[in-house]
């Protein structure tokens, strides 16, 4: 079993609900509180497991903003685990989740330097490294309804852009989504084999601009919008 996330870049609206719900849940979970630095000051900062990047692609008027959530990829060949001198970083054999033992971590930053995804953050107050746990404490909590045994970010996403499941199971919903939509993992050339995958934005017809100023423009724009909706 290899549990992980599949994120649909076509439907992610960049609302940061995944980041804030993650922060809220993990502040009271097994990872210990995610520290905030000067939260009410001039330059507030803090430890986050999820961060959303924003990119603009294409040229106007056919440009598009891509919202790109980033967190730990829970790699199969996790270099962060290999370089850890204390054994604090480890990969669970039963589900493939990569975790950090807070009692063993000495905050040396080796794992952070080894991670090409920027997924690890040093908590300056505890002096230990912290990262996404896939809300492992939720996944196996029998006190929760089955439908709630998912990462907090998946449950909070209003656009349903985040999916969770077993990517080792070819018939799981996440595996089918990756297969059907041409999902991909980041930086495959490194051979880390990340578990998390991304679904690319769908291709859409460009906005017609060659008829600007003509009476028929409104009609053509309406036809174009109808074609997009029908898809």
Assess contact for 3 and 195: CB atoms under 8 A: yes
The per-residue pLDDT for 27 is 81
Q: In the chain, what are the domain boundaries?
A: 3-199, 207-231
The per-residue pLDDT for 210 is 60
For residue 144, the 8-state DSSP code is S
The per-residue pLDDT for 213 is 55
Options 3.90.79.10, 2.40.40.20, 2.60.260.20, 3.30.70.20; CATH for 3-199 is 3.30.70.20
Cα–Cα distance for residue pair 40/51, rounded to 1 Å: 20
The per-residue pLDDT for 26 is 85
Cα–Cα distance for residue pair 35/26, rounded to 1 Å: 11
Assess contact for 19 and 44: CB atoms under 8 A: no
Cα–Cα distance for residue pair 31/101, rounded to 1 Å: 9
Q: What is the pTM of this model?
A: 0.84
Please state the rounded mean pLDDT for residues 133-137.
94
Please state the rounded mean pLDDT for residues 148-155.
96
Residues with Cβ within 8 Å of residue 167, at least 6 apart in sequence: 2, 3, 4, 6, 174, 175, 178, 195, 197
For residue 209, the 8-state DSSP code is -
Tell me the two tokens of residue 135. 């809300």
51-66 pLDDT per residue, tens:
999 999 888 877 889 9
Please state the rounded mean pLDDT for residues 171-176.
97
Cα–Cα distance for residue pair 6/18, rounded to 1 Å: 13
Assess contact for 111 and 80: CB atoms under 8 A: yes
Assess contact for 97 and 3: CB atoms under 8 A: yes
The per-residue pLDDT for 211 is 55
Chain CA centroid to CA 117, Å: 11
Q: Which residues pair with 4 in a beta bridge?
A: 165
The answer to whether residue 128 scores a pLDDT higher than 60 is yes
pLDDT mean across residues, the chain: 89
189-216 pLDDT per residue, tens:
999 999 999 999 987 766 666 655 555 6
The per-residue pLDDT for 43 is 86
E-strand stretches of 119-178 = 121-123, 128-130, 162-166
The answer to whether residue 2 scores a pLDDT higher than 70 is yes
Q: pLDDT over 70 for what percent of the chain?
A: 90
84-119 pLDDT per residue, tens:
999 999 999 999 999 999 999 999 999 999 999 999
């Amino acid at each position: 079993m290899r549990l992980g996330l599949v994120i649909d870049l076509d439907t992610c609206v960049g609302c940061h609900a995944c980041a804030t719900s993650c922060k809220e849940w993990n502040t009271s979970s097994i990872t210990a509180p995610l520290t905030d630095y000067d939260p009410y000051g001039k330059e507030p900062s803090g430890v986050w497991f999820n961060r959303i990047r924003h990119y603009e692609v294409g040229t106007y008027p056919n440009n598009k903003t891509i919202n790109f959530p980033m967190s730990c990829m829970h790699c199969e060949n996790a270099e962060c685990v290999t370089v850890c001198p204390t054994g604090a970083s480890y990969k669970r054999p039963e589900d493939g989740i990569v975790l950090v033992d807070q009692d063993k971590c000495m905050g040396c930053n080796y794992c952070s330097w080894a991670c090409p995804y920027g997924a690890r953050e040093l908590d300056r107050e505890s002096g230990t490294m912290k990262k996404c746990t896939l809300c492992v404490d939720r996944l196996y909590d029998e006190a929760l309804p089955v439908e709630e045994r998912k990462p907090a970010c998946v449950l909070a996403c209003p656009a349903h852009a985040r999916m969770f499941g077993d990517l080792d199971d070819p018939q799981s919903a996440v595996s089918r989504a990756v297969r059907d939509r041409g999902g991909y993992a980041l930086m495959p050339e490194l051979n880390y084999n990340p578990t998390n995958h991304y679904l690319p934005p769908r291709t859409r017809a460009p906005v017609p601009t060659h008829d600007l100023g003509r009476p028929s423009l409104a009609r053509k724009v309406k036809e174009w919008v109808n074609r997009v909706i029908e898809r």
